[in-house]
Amino acid sequence: MLFNSLEFLIFLPVVFLLYWFVVRKKLKSQNLLLLLASYVFYGWWDWRFLSLIIFSSTLDFLIGISLANTEQEKKRKLLLTTSVLVNIGFLGFFKYYNFFLESFTDAFTFFGMHISAERLNIILPVGISFYTFQTLSYTLDVYKKKLTPTKDIIAFFAFVSFFPQLVAGPIERATNLLPQFYSKRKFEYNQAVDGLRQILWGLFKKIVIADNAAGFANTIFNNSDQYSGSTLLLGAVFFAFQIYGDFSGYSDIAIGTSRLFGFNLKQNFAFPYFSRDIAEFWRRWHISLSTWFRDYLYIPLGGSRGGIVMKIRNTFIIFIVSGFWHGANWTFIAWGFLNALYFLPIMLLNKNRIHTNVVAENKVFASFREILQISSTFFITVIAWVFFRADNIKHAFAYISEVFSTSLFTVPEILPSKAIFFILLFVVIEWLQRDKQHALELDNVRIPRLIRFSFYYVIIAIIFLFGGQQQEFIYFQF
């Protein structure tokens, strides 16, 4: 079920009314309702894949209890290994089987040996990368004794399948989200209203920014050999706003929807295109995934505590694995590799933590230096996005080589004024709200009621009048 669909427009109010008016007095009944609603939400796409979520939930629930019942380190490691291998095994089969098969056969072909291997017609379950990492966080934290394993099976199953963030995140930690299923929720008017604002902004990001940008990005990338370097650069910029509007828009809708039910999810995007260097960008982009890899991969590998060689190794591992997480294509690995190259110099110079505050804090305008830093960081990020969007490595290099040709200094063949206007409007609003959790957060801001509601209705009108052609959320494929 899509957030930007008629089905969800009906589904959400129905669940909301049942949750707060029918089962509000019993916590277990609320959790059970959320569990059933989550299974309906996910099963709307393909009910057969509910078996994967149920199996993964059952496995890790039982492993969590088993970890609590033994202090033998050998047995605890075996239990943890079982959880990791089974969950990653499912993910690897559905997402990477054909990739490894093709890479294997291509390697033999490169050395002059031709072998045949038949691809499997595998359907990738929506959101498998997200809920796999979410349930793994539980067993990993229970193993490390950071979390007491639960015996409440309904609460645990609801945590794994919580419908607002089930298919595209944020990837919630068990330490943050699971305890919220144990506590009785009380309807908070201000929290719900702010949740509605965040949902509205997420819909604006998705329907007006991402879907409009997608039309032009797709046209330019799909016919890149026909356009000048200036048009290709514009196409890459459109894709940068498409993927940001699409993914952060989903996160805003997910977080806002969760707040309607009394849950607080972690911020997943913190205005990343206003970053002053690539390290700051990665602290602000897809925060739930970046911190997941940091805590469960980078730090266990030694992080930045070792020598230069270890720092370089760990940096490349974390970025390449992050790229590979996104999809079974060498373009994603190249995207991760390029970001590692970007990150390496500032890490080795110990400058990766110099920009931890909000840019131009307590000021309306950025300094000239900050504008240069933001512009340069955005530019190299856009170039990296070319690999993310390209069909293959060859396509990416051909695209980038044309961008850096003399045709870069020509007038673009495609220059859509409406899409550019809304992107500029979007950037201005986000800039003014860059110190908030989301762009429509109005806490401690006194704005007359008439002006506030007029603004909301203008955004709703823009969504209906100027929304692009409906596109599936990009991260559903991951």
258, HSE (Cβ side, Cα atoms, 13 Å): 25
Vertex 125, ends 120 and 129: CA angle to 5°? 110
Q: Which residue has the tokens 């970025």?
A: 319
Task: Compute how many other C-beta atoms are within 10 angstroms of the C-beta atom of residue 89.
Answer: 10
Sign of CA dihedral 398, 404, 409, 412: positive
Nearest in space to 131 (alpha carbons), one of 155, 99, 165: 165
Sorted by sequence, the CB contacts under 8 Å of residue 406 that are 6+ apart come out as: 229
Nearest in space to 390 (alpha carbons), one of 222, 219, 215: 222
Structure tokens at 443: 């806490």
| Amino acid in the structure at residue 247 | F
Structure tokens at 323: 């790229």
Contact present, 115 and 41 (Cβ < 8 Å) = no
Q: Which residue has the tokens 């990009």?
A: 474
Q: Which residue has the tokens 């991260």?
A: 475
SS3 of 411, please? coil
DSSP structure string for 266-293: PP----GGG-SSHHHHHHHSSHHHHHHH
Q: Catalytic amino acids? A: 326
194, HSE (Cβ side, Cα atoms, 13 Å): 19
Sign of CA dihedral 340, 342, 345, 348: negative
What torsion, rounded to 10 degrees, do the Cα atoms 390, 250, 132, 389 define?
Answer: 0
Angle between helices 50-68 and 27-46 (to 10 degrees): 140
Sorted by sequence, the CB contacts under 8 Å of residue 468 that are 6+ apart come out as: 207, 208, 210, 211, 212, 213, 214, 215
Contact present, 20 and 187 (Cβ < 8 Å) = yes
Query: Cα dist. 168→3, 29, 157, 270, 376 in Å?
Result: 11, 26, 17, 17, 29
Instruction: Output DSSP code: residue 22.
Output: I
For residues 333 and 186, give the distance between their C-alpha atoms in angstroms, rounded to a whole number.
45
